[in-house]
Amino acid sequence: MFSLLDTLKMGTGIAAGLVLYHLYAVSIGYPSAARQARAGYVLLAEKAAADARAAEMERQRNAASLATEEHSKRLLAAEASEKAARDTLETEIQSYELQLSEKNRACAVTAADRQWLLRH
């Protein structure tokens, strides 16, 4: 059927094909090794993304905490300022009433007027 020369030709062709495939696989990397490398890279990339998300969430939590502290400080300062203004107003009202009483004049400010002044 096949002669010895045909068999040698086929063997040489198969050997040459295997050599070419090996050179191709070595030059671009073995497909199975590439798949394994990509699988490891995917896990590494997912881990890096999860770490980045955790770091971002912690950064946002810290920023919210700082904003809350700053808001509390400003609220306390505003309340102190409002109390000081209220005390100053109360002192001015008492001073005015004292001046009127020293001049024997009556103060026409009622309690309702006083409350209105305190609110506005």
d(CA 37, CA 62): 37
| Number of independent structural domains in the chain | 1
The whole-model pTM stands at 0.46
In the prediction, which pLDDT does 15 show? 95
Domain that holds residue 29: 4-85
In the prediction, which pLDDT does 14 show? 93
Helix axes 111-119, 31-102, angle to 10 degrees: 150
Residue 61 lies in a domain: yes
In the prediction, which pLDDT does 19 show? 92
Per residue in 24-70, pLDDT (tens digit) is: 877 776 667 777 777 778 888 999 999 999 999 999 999 999 999 99
Residue 116 lies in a domain: no
Task: Give the Cβ contact number of residue 28 at 10 Å.
Answer: 9
Residue 20 lies in a domain: yes
d(CA 111, CA 47): 69
In the prediction, which pLDDT does 66 show? 97
d(CA 44, CA 49): 9
